[in-house]
Amino acid sequence: MLIGEIFRVALGALRANKLRSLLTMLGIVIGVGSVIAMIALGTGAQQAVKDRITALGTTLLTVSPGQMFGRGGISSMDDRAKLVMKDATALEERGTLFLAVQPEMSRNMQVQYMNKNTNTSITGTTANYLTVRKYELQAGRMFSSQEDNAKARLAVVGPEVVKNMGLESPFAILDEPIRIRGIQFTVIGVLKSKGQSQPWMNPDDQILIPLNTARFRVIGSDRIRSVSVLAKSEEQIPETMAENQKILRREHKLRQGRPDDFSIRNQSDFLSTFAETTVVFTYLLAGIAAVSLVVGGIGIMNIMLVSVTERTREIGVRKALGATRFNILFQFLIEAVVLCLMGGFIGILLGGGAATWLSSAFQWNTQISTQSIMLAFGFSALVGIVFGVWPARRAAKLDPISALRYE
Spell out the SS3 assignment of 298-326: HHHHHHHHHHHHHCHHHHHHHHHCCCCHH
Residue 32: per-residue pLDDT: 85
Q: Which residue type occupies 307? A: S
Query: Rounded to an integer, what is the distance from CA 12 to the centroid of its chain?
Result: 44
Distance CA 114, CA 161 (A): 14
Distances (CA, A) of 270 to 43, 95, 107: 17, 23, 22
Within 10 Å of residue 206's Cβ, how many Cβ atoms? Answer: 19
Q: Are 368 and 50 in contact (CB under 8 A)?
A: no
Return the pLDDT at 75. Answer: 42
pLDDT at 68: 45
By the 8 A CB rule, do 290 and 379 touch? Answer: yes
- The candidate with the shortest Cα–Cα distance to 207, out of 179, 239, 171, 227, is 179
Cβ atoms 366, 41 nearer than 8 A: yes
Query: Domain segments of the chain: what residues?
Result: 3-52+273-405, 82-260
312-336 burial: b if 16+ Cβ within 10 Å, else e = bebbbebbeeebeeebbbbbbbbbb
- Residues 81/67, Cβ–Cβ less than 8 Å: yes
Predicted confidence at residue 157, as pLDDT, reads 96
Cα–Cα distance list, 377 to 22, 31, 33, 367, 380 (Å) = 18, 11, 11, 17, 5
Measure the CA–CA gap between 360 and 40, rounded to whole angstroms: 14
Query: Considering only CA atoms, which of 253, 240, 228 is closest in space to residue 94?
Result: 240
One-letter amino acid of 211? L
pLDDT digits (tens, 9 = 90+) for 27-56: 788 888 888 888 888 778 777 766 766 666
The pLDDT, as a whole number, for residue 174 is 94
Over the chain (407 residues), what is each successive 10-residue block's mean pLDDT?
A: 64 74 81 83 74 69 71 43 88 90 93 91 95 91 95 95 91 94 94 68 88 94 91 86 92 88 80 70 72 78 80 80 81 82 88 86 78 81 83 79 64
* Alpha carbon distance 325, 314 (integer Å): 14
Q: What is the Cα gyration radius of the chain? A: 31
